[in-house]
């Protein structure tokens, strides 16, 4: 009997796939990678896997790895896919593959199964990461198997299968949208959300955030401390990476921070709609950006900003374990060495407003920046600067006069 590991979440897709793998004669080993998913009973999920036919079912706690080794480097890049999405799902997938292959080596499995569809991005992220880490791995993607698709042409058939097998799942025929959760965010997609005429924010039952309308009528102030671009403290108290994100999720969530509804371009070519909530990471992105305004010089900041969309694409498409991404990670570690300090924000009904920012490495010089008389900036120096900057324009203007 061939052995495989299954990246198991306990959701609809992987619950069905686990039963299907057993039906196909596999010896599946379910791996629940604990990424700090809220709203989930982990013991019940593992027991459900065993009841469904998993040879073993285990939980691997990777919360700290997710934040420290994956989310925070992307935060340093200020990487947002298509300028909006903070990549909470994309970041998690290569880590899930990494953990599953560690378990595969332990149990002697050559196969690695996942529940990503043949239409989505996750199939790319899972497979590209797995094959980069182990070129001999056999990736099992049931959604790309025609017999599987014939048996399960839609979510309704999957729900019916689970009902016949006695497998408990969140989704129902009446409301078949799916969710993916970790400590960085929750994403919602499919089902009724595919209809763009529906208000996604009203449809979704959010697990992390209160609506801005229902948030408190008073401002909450929070101070984030960074060292070399990595968040370390909340209100002066040191926190482990995952604990820090979870606390900011609580703080941001009760203040209605971090909800988006977007239509994005998938790697496979189609457009899809996603509703996301990421309260903690939204706060961190804003605080980090404000601290960089003090600590990064202009040219380095602009270079980072020019490269950030490429970084976001590499993460979104699934090329975390690649030579290009390795080089970009090395670049950002060097670029962020002096991004140390504190930023204080006011949070109010979905909004973030800066109160103060400070850094021992601040490049802001009030004596240079002042618009008052005196100071350490000699305005006469601007004359030569502008003569040099304007030279190409003056030469071109003589050769090809404008307005003539």
Report the catalytic residues.
13, 93, 122, 178
Q: What angle do CA 254, 256, 261 make, to 5 degrees?
A: 140
Helix (H, G, I), strand (E, B) or coil at 344: strand
C-beta of residue 264 within 8 angstroms of C-beta of residue 272: yes
Q: Element (H or E) spanning 124, and its range?
A: helix 122-133
In this structure, are residues 148 and 175 in contact, taking their beta carbons and an 8 Å threshold?
Answer: no
Instruction: Please identify which residue in the block is written with the tokens 């002066």.
Output: 236
Residue 9's contacts (CB-CB under 8 Å, 6 or more residues apart) are 32, 37, 45, 115, 180
- 397's tokens: 């203007």
Query: How far is C-alpha 244 from the geometric centre of its chain's CA atoms?
Result: 16
Q: In what order do the strands lie in the sheet with 341-348?
A: 237-238, 230-234, 220-227, 341-348, 351-358
Phi, psi of 121 (to 5 degrees): -80, -30
Burial class (CB in 10 A: 0-12, 13-18, 19+), 254: middle
Written as six digits, the tokens of 109 are 């499995």
3-state helix, strand, coil split of the chain in percent (to 5) is 45, 20, 35
What is the rounded CA–CA span in Å between residue 126 and residue 226?
A: 31
């Amino acid at each position: 009997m061939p052995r495989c590991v299954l990246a198991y979440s306990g959701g609809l897709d992987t619950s069905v796939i686990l039963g299907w793998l057993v039906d196909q004669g596999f010896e599946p080993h379910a791996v629940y990678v604990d990424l700090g998913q809220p709203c989930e009973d982990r013991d019940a999920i593992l027991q459900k896997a065993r009841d469904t036919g998993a040879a073993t079912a285990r939980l691997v706690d990777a919360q700290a790895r997710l934040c420290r080794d994956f989310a925070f480097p992307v935060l340093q890049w200020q990487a947002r896919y298509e300028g909006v999405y903070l990549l909470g799902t994309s970041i998690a997938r290569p880590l899930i593959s990494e953990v599953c292959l560690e378990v595969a080596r332990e149990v002697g499995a050559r196969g690695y199964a996942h529940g990503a569809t043949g239409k989505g991005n996750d199939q790319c992220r899972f497979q590209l990461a797995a094959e980069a880490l182990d070129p001999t791995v056999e990736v099992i993607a049931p959604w790309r198997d025609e017999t599987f698709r014939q048996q399960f042409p839609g979510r309704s058939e999957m729900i019916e299968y689970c009902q016949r097998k006695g497998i408990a799942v969140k989704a129902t025929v009446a409301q078949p949208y799916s969710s993916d959760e970790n400590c960085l965010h929750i994403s919602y997609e499919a089902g009724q959300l595919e209809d763009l005429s529906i208000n996604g924010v009203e449809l979704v039952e959010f697990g992390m955030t209160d609506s801005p309308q229902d948030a408190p009528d008073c401002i909450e102030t929070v101070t984030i401390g960074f060292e070399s671009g990595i968040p370390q403290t909340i209100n002066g108290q040191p926190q482990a990476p995952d604990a820090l994100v979870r606390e900011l999720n609580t703080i941001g969530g009760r203040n209605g921070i971090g909800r988006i509804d977007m239509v994005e371009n998938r790697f496979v070519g189609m457009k899809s709609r996603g509703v996301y909530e990421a309260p903690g990471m939204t706060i961190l992105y804003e605080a980090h950006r404000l601290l960089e305004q003090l600590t990064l010089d202009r040219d380095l900041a602009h270079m980072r900003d020019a490269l950030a969309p490429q970084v976001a694409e590499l993460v979104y498409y699934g090329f975390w374990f690649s030579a290009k991404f390795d080089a970009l990670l090395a670049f950002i570690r060097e670029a962020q060495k002096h991004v140390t300090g504190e930023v204080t924000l006011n949070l109010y009904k979905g909004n973030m407003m800066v109160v103060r920012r400070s850094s021992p490495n601040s490049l802001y010089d009030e004596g240079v920046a002042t618009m008052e008389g005196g100071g350490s900036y000699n305005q006469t120096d601007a004359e030569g600067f502008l003569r040099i900057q304007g030279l190409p324009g003056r030469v071109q203007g003589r050769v090809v006069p404008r307005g003539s």
